[in-house]
Amino acid sequence: MALMVCSCQKDEPMVPPVINAIAASDITNTTAVINAEITEAGSEPILKYGFVWTEGYDGVSTLNEGTVEYLNGNPQEGKISFELKNLEQGKHYKYNAFIQTETDTYMNKYGTGFDLASPEITDISPKEGSGGTKVTITGKYFTTDKEAISLELGSDEAEILEASETEITFIAPDGYAGDKDIELYLVVNGATSQSEITFKYLRYFTLNEEYIRSDQSIGVFVSGYLPMNSETNRADINFKINGKLCEVISEWPGDKGYTVTVQTPKDLQPGVADLEVTSGSGYKYYNKNNTLTVLPPDTWLKKNNLPEKQMGDGFGFTKGDFAYVLSNQKLYQYSPTNDSWSLYKEILSLEYNKTDAIGLIDEELLILQGKTLKSFNFIGDYSMARAEFPGELRKGAASFVVNNTFYYGLGYIGDVFQNDLWKYNIDKDEWTRLSACPSRGESTKYYRDCAIVKDEVVFIGKFEYDYITDTYKESKSSYRPEYHSLLIEDKIYSIKTDNYIFDSIKDGYYKYKSRLSISNFSFENNLSIRNTDCPGAYSSHYFYFVIDGKIYIGGDNDNLEFWEFTPADY
């Protein structure tokens, strides 16, 4: 009998790997490092391992639910990582880690997720100012795409000027009058900053004009409430230019503050100046103006008056070395050399106080009264009737002469703007209707058109009229012609009167005075500047002309004042 001995060995079971996705690290606005930890390498043969990730909030539990990133080498117990790049700020991402063996794929049930870094503000400069202040915030996780940035101060949107990864420059909106700390709300690519940064709005002042002159009334807007002096019943605010006190003339309430009219000191020196505004209690207002410049004074010289007072508008023009003024039926001649007037001609065929426009073509003076057109010949010393104006009667019309052709039209009828312009050919004695001016989008019975000829263009309202091609286009210039305007070299000088300028208070009543002012517009720098006011007093009726770069102005006021105005050089 044989004895058999058998040795049996039982196979050990395979140990599965264990891997868990853990929190991401090194997160920026476009990159992140995703991590996982292998707590058990297991005994199953491993084929592949790595991460699977996707944008959004849904869990990642299979390799088909996102982008797979395979890692190289054999996995060891411990931490594994992979850097994701070119991600989108403001998005949420989910990811999971996996190990594939011959028998299965091992991973967490849902994985984990992360948000990209939100924009962080570390500083703001300046920290205070007013609406319109240029402000720069510095920090990180910004963007160069201005369209992807939303920046609000309180509830008001700021205008973004420049943007980089670390700086954003913007204009503070005009939402607050002052003395308020307003929090910034910054969103970049949909990601909201959690930084607690504020910009302090100060009470401020600003001038309507940044160029002024000595002894000139100017308007200063002061934000917020206006402290008043109970004894003087005037604004309890001090206005100083280069340390010299200005006189407060009047206050007028407006949106978010008051406009205070002050008289500038009489002896200001030309150049850059400093305007300081403080309340009676010592509060210093923020200067919203960039600069304030004192210009040299213009020169006004009083000249000899017309021989007799004339009622209504006069029409001035120059011919040769002399100037002429047509006032009603009388044509006066003025010699600037002798400062003398003489009655040149009395044109009895003209109606009294009915002239609407004049135009000088060589030796012929065209005179339009309503529809009636007449001419006066300087050489023959006679007047004659011309072809009647075929358009409708109107008020506030414009007229000009170019290339020996007289133009007339536009203006208004009732409260409706007209758009027809006509030209008159003196040789053929005939009128021709030209292209209609485009709609000007506004109407008022108090508006009067003015036409200024510069080179081959005529400025009429907001349009430029090309008299060669008979076409209109909307002007890109900020200049808009006013009722009484004239061209001297590259500047347009506009003349106007205001009969209700505050003067003083007497016995509880406000006293007013009239003022004739001149302002000029420079085409070279696209800038309007107010000139020195006329020392005399004027009503709204006056005549004017230009000789040798000087403006001469006369009127129908009681004193029959006639002035010579010489603009200062600057």
**What pLDDT band is residue 558 in, cutting at 50, 70 and 90?**
low
Q: Which region, left, alpha or beta, applies to residue 495 given φ > 0 means left and ψ of -120 to 50 means alpha? A: beta
Query: Predicted confidence band at 511 (pLDDT cuts at 50, 70, 90)?
Result: low
Give me the pLDDT at residue 85, please.
Answer: 96
pTM of the model: 0.66
Mean pLDDT for 118-144 is 94
Q: Are 553 and 305 in contact (CB under 8 A)?
A: no
pLDDT (0 to 100) of residue 312: 63
Distance between CA atoms of residues 159 and 423, nearest Å: 48
Domains along the sequence of the chain with CATH: 18-115 (2.60.40.10), 120-201 (2.60.40.10), 205-294 (2.60.40.10), 299-566 (2.120.10.80)
Q: Helices H, strands E: what count in the chain?
A: 0, 57
The CA distance from 261 to 218, in Å, is 6
pLDDT at residue 477 in the model: 82
Q: Is the pLDDT of residue 87 over 80?
A: yes
pLDDT at 353: 76
The stretch 275-280 carries a mean pLDDT of: 91
Confidence at residue 276, expressed as pLDDT on a 0 to 100 scale? 93
Q: What is the mean pLDDT of the chain?
A: 88
Q: For the chain, what percent of residues have pLDDT higher than 90?
A: 59
Do residues 178 and 201 touch, judged by C-beta distance below 8 A? yes
Tell me which of 326 and 291 has the higher pLDDT.
326
Burial class (CB in 10 A: 0-12, 13-18, 19+), 163: buried
Q: Which residue has the higher pLDDT, 542 or 397?
A: 397
Model confidence at 566, pLDDT cuts 50, 70, 90, reads: very high
Is the pLDDT reported for residue 38 higher than 80?
yes
**Dist CA 519 CA 183 (whole Å):** 42
What does the pLDDT read at residue 233?
76
Rounded to an integer, the average pLDDT of 21-35 is 96
> What is the percent of the chain with per-residue pLDDT over 70, rounded to a whole number?
91
Q: How many CB atoms within 10 Å of residue 62? A: 12
**pLDDT of 559 strictly over 60:** no
Q: Is the pLDDT of residue 527 over 90?
A: no
Measured CA to CA, the distance from residue 220 to residue 458 in angstroms comes to 34
Whole-number pLDDT of residue 506? 63
pLDDT for residue 403:
94
Mean pLDDT check: name the lowest of 50-64, 253-267, 271-285, 429-443. 429-443
Q: What is the band of 445 on the pLDDT scale with cuts at 50, 70, 90?
A: very low
Q: What does DSSP assign to residue 232?
A: T
Assigned token pair, 323: 């100037």
Task: Please classify residue 150 by burial: count the beta carbons closer than 10 Å to its beta carbon, then call 0-12 exposed, 13-18 middle and 19+ buried.
Answer: middle
Tell me what pLDDT residue 232 has: 74
pLDDT grade, residue 3 (50/70/90)?
very low
* Mean pLDDT score, 15-29: 95
Q: What is the mean pLDDT of residues 523-534?
A: 84
d(C-alpha 481, C-alpha 126), whole Å: 40
What would the mean pLDDT of 430-441 be, rounded to a whole number?
A: 88
Angle at Cα 92 formed by Cα 88 and Cα 94, nearest 5°? 115
Dump pLDDT digits (tens) for 464-499.
999 999 999 998 888 887 778 889 988 999 888 776
* Of 74 and 151, more confident: 151
pLDDT, position 540? 67
Q: What burial letters (b/e) apply to 127-146, b meaning 16+ CB within 10 Å?
A: ebbbbebebebebebbbeee
Q: How far is the CA of 64 from the CAs of 53, 70, 389, 468, in angstroms?
A: 10, 14, 86, 73
pLDDT digits (tens, 9 = 90+) for 387-433: 999 999 999 899 999 999 999 999 888 888 899 999 999 999 999 99
